[in-house]
Chain A
Amino acid sequence: QQQVKQSPQSLIVQKGGISIINCAYENTAFDYFPWYQQFPGKGPALLIAIRPDVSEKKEGRFTISFNKSAKQFSLHIMDSQPGDSATYFCAARSQGGKLIFGQGTELSVKP
């Protein structure tokens, strides 16, 4: 049973455009929502994270929007660049510290 559902599976965006990746979760006990970025041949690396008492967090061109009532959160990449081309995973932390990952989104930013 997938507790964190991520969409879309793949995304193509033109350089300078906005990339949006969405995640939905079921367990209201999740208390931490990170996004990981993975380049080909590399392990995932933490990109940005948010806690459920905050509705938005911004770091540079990357923003997480969090809707607690809808149990949804999303990653927005502003002014997308070819160097942002990677696979992105959302995740949610359950009680006890376990991270549950979404299915991943393969982002391609075209020049």
Chain B
Amino acid sequence: EAQVTQNPRYLITVTGKKLTVTCSQNMNHEYMSWYRQDPGLGLRQIYYSMNVEVTDKGDVPEGYKVSRKEKRNFPLILESPSPNQTSLYFCASKPIALASDTQYFGPGTRLTVL
């Protein structure tokens, strides 16, 4: 089954404790992206990657890191989480061809930073 998977689905942590949220897709998509969803703000892009070893900042990159060492994986790293990073996070992927712009989203990771 074609899908984007994220782990963990739920995470409660404390301020300053480094964490990683994993994202994996099995559709051989070049483009991958991380979003955060907050009430009243919609989905805001954190980072994106056009292909392996190519990453770039989205609209709200502060406090986050990403890496793209393999085509299928795009982990999101919070080196020192803070309470304002409490949010619902989504990973998404799509093929790079502009004619097809359907983004496929993962199920989400709900993060709480105390």
Contact = CB atoms under 8 A, between A and B. Distances in A.
A6 B42 contact: yes
Interface stretch (B12-20, B64-72, B79-87, B95-103): B95-103
Interface string A39-75: 0011111100100000000000000000000000000
Interface of B: 4, 31, 35, 37, 40-45, 48, 58, 90, 92, 96, 98, 101-103, 105-108
Interface string A77-93: 00000000000010001
Interface residues of A, number: 22
A34 B102 CA distance: 8
A44 B36 CA distance: 12
A89 B42 CA distance: 7
Given A43-B107, A49-B102, 14 more contacts: A34-B102, A41-B107, A41-B108, A42-B108, A43-B4, A43-B92, A46-B103, A99-B45, A99-B101, A99-B103, A101-B43, A101-B44, A103-B42, A104-B43
26 contacts: A32-B101, A41-B107, A41-B108, A42-B107, A42-B108, A43-B4, A43-B92, A43-B106, A43-B107, A43-B108, A44-B103, A44-B105, A45-B105, A46-B102, A46-B103, A49-B101, A97-B96, A98-B48, A99-B103, A100-B45, A101-B44, A102-B42, A103-B41, A104-B37, A104-B40, A104-B42
Contact of B98 (A97, A101, A104): A97
Contacts of A98: 45, 48, 58
